[in-house]
């Protein structure tokens, strides 16, 4: 992961600095060059990076090197602080009108994920006890209306549509009346994707805004967007005066520098992030965590939260005891896998762990089907085998494979993964049962 290289590079830069009282201009320059490359690799806009580096430079120059921190960490800390600050500092919530209905308008380029985000947002608000109405204002893309209708059906949320012959402005207006009549307190307008330089279509958004005066106008931005994010955000903001941003497809491996670019040029906060294709995968945005992600530092906070939510504390402690005594068995492995699964898709969890790089994790990638297979394999073992996996020789492997309806290769793979899991569990249980002390979890740059 990029963080490791950044962390290591910075460490290298500052190694010779040990024992000195202050960060020198020259060393800082070398260090900031590495930060610059890291940010550019994360797709933060060039100009934004430039301003940012200047700010950090000013702040860091001549600063005392704190005793407890190495200079490398000190710079990372300043960079992280500045990034978090730039990204809004704190979490920004959705505005709800005091006089219903609350009108939310989703806008953005084609393929950024407006319709899916509209559905997810509807679900979130419905769960909070509100009565949302989804409105199909995309009359251009083939089957866009149908897509929203299918989502509405899945979520049990009404969808208002007037086909693809009526102008979106009229649809929006009619939808507000419909909402008033049917007691919907939230109206989510799903507009067509459009290019920010398409004047005719941009004008249409402007007219919808004038017509229904939405309290929230959310720009939906693909987290994988490159340098162009600033142009897009600038244009949409200029015309519509956005209220916020939804950052989608953040469940991939993109570092998401677009988040920073968009915030920097519009000043508008990211309010939600899309974390997957499932309809519950819309999460509030945490600027500090995003800062770490852009720098490639992993999202330890989210991981800890998820771990605390989902790990049975007692079971974890038992497991840790076993780990310490090296008694971690295949049965425990099964329990642990179950708990990990409760935390969410495994690849996401792995991404959050700093220092976990993809290559190292190759053998650990599990999908849900794999999990079922592993369960069958473990259950086909004798109790003795589960406790002492080293006993499982060739003929036992054959028997286990036959018994679980799998192949010997699958059994081998499981045993290999078990071995790796033993190593990893040591890290995770050390972290979750550190009695609130985060210090136990060693960040790779320390």
Which residue ranges make up the site for other proteins (CB under 8 A)?
Answer: 37, 40-43, 45-46, 109-113, 140-144, 146-151, 154, 195-197, 222, 224-229, 231-232, 249, 251-255, 257-258, 277, 347, 351, 365, 367-369
The conformation of residue 162, written as its DSSP 8-state character, comes to: B
Whether the Cβ atoms of residue 247 and residue 221 lie closer than 8 Å to each other: yes
- Which is nearer to other proteins, 155 or 424 (by Cβ)? 155
- Which is nearer to other proteins, 101 or 108 (by Cβ)? 108
- Which is nearer to other proteins, 65 or 229 (by Cβ)? 229
For residue 46 the two structure tokens come to 């060039």
Q: What long-range pairs does 121-128 form, CB within 8 A, spacing at least 24?
A: 121/188, 121/246, 121/272, 121/282, 122/151, 122/152, 122/155, 122/157, 122/186, 122/188, 123/155, 123/157, 123/279, 123/280, 123/282, 124/282, 125/186, 126/155, 126/156, 126/157
- Which is nearer to other proteins, 1 or 83 (by Cβ)? 1
| Residue 384: strand pairing partners | none
Beta carbon of residue 321, minimum distance to other proteins (angstroms, whole number): 32
Beta carbon of residue 348, minimum distance to other proteins (angstroms, whole number): 9
- Which is nearer to other proteins, 6 or 431 (by Cβ)? 6
Angle 429-433-439 (CA atoms, 0-180°, nearest 5)?
Answer: 95
Contacts for 86 with CB less than 8 Å, ≥ 6 apart: 52, 260, 263, 264
Beta carbon of residue 13, minimum distance to other proteins (angstroms, whole number): 18
- Which is nearer to other proteins, 101 or 113 (by Cβ)? 113
With b meaning 16 or more CB within 10 Å and e meaning fewer, what string describes 109-145? beebbbbbbbbbbbbbbeeeebbbbbbbbbbeeeebb
Beta carbon of residue 224, minimum distance to other proteins (angstroms, whole number): 4
Beta carbon of residue 118, minimum distance to other proteins (angstroms, whole number): 12
Cα 267 from chain centroid (whole Å): 21
Beta carbon of residue 312, minimum distance to other proteins (angstroms, whole number): 26
Beta carbon of residue 61, minimum distance to other proteins (angstroms, whole number): 21
- Which is nearer to other proteins, 109 or 353 (by Cβ)? 109
| Residue 160: strand pairing partners | 135
């Amino acid at each position: 992961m990029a963080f490791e290289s950044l962390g290591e590079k910075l460490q290298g830069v500052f190694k010779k600095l040990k024992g000195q009282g202050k960060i020198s201009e020259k060393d800082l320059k070398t260090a900031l060059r590495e930060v610059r490359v890291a940010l550019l690799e994360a797709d933060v806009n060039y100009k934004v990076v430039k301003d940012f580096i200047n700010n950090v430079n000013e702040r860091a120059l001549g600063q005392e090197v704190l005793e407890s921190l190495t200079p490398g960490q000190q710079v990372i800390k300043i960079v992280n602080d500045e990034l978090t600050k730039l990204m809004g500092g704190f979490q920004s919530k959705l505005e709800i009108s005091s006089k219903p209905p609350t009108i939310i308008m989703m806008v953005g380029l084609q393929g950024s994920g407006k319709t899916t985000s509209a559905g997810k947002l509807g679900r979130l608000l419905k769960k909070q006890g509100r009565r949302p109405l989804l409105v199909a204002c995309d009359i251009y893309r083939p089957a866009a209306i149908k897509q929203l209708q299918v989502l509405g059906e899945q979520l049990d949320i009404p969808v208002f549509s007037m086909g693809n012959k009526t102008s979106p402005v009229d649809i929006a207006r009619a939808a507000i009346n419909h909402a008033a009549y049917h007691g919907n307190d939230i109206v989510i307008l799903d507009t067509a994707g459009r290019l920010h330089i398409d004047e005719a279509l941009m004008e249409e958004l402007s007219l919808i805004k004038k017509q229904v005066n939405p309290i929230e106008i959310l720009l939906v931005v693909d987290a994988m967007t490159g340098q162009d994010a600033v142009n897009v955000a600038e244009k949409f903001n200029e015309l519509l005066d956005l209220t916020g941003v939804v950052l989608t497809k953040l469940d991939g491996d993109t570092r998401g520098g677009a988040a920073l670019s968009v915030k920097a040029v519009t000043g508008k906060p990211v309010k939600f992030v899309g974390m997957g294709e499932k309809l519950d995968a819309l999460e509030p945005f945490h600027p500090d965590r995003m800062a770490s992600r852009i720098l490639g530092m992993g999202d330890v906070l989210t991981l800890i939260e998820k771990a605390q939510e989902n790990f049975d504390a007692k079971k974890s402690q038992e497991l840790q005891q076993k780990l310490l005594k090296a008694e971690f068995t295949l049965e425990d492995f099964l329990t642990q896998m179950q708990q990990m699964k409760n935390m969410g898709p495994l690849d996401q969890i792995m991404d959050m762990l700093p220092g976990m790089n993809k290559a190292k994790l190759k053998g650990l990638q599990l999908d849900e089907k794999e999990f079922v297979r592993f369960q069958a394999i473990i259950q086909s073992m004798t109790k003795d085998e589960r406790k002492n996996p080293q006993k499982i020789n060739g003929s036992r492997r054959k028997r286990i494979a036959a018994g679980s309806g799998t192949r010997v290769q699958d059994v081998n793979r499981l045993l290999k993964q078990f071995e790796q899991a033993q190593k990893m569990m040591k890290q995770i249980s050390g972290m979750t049962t550190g009695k609130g002390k985060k210090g136990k979890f060693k960040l790779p740059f320390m």
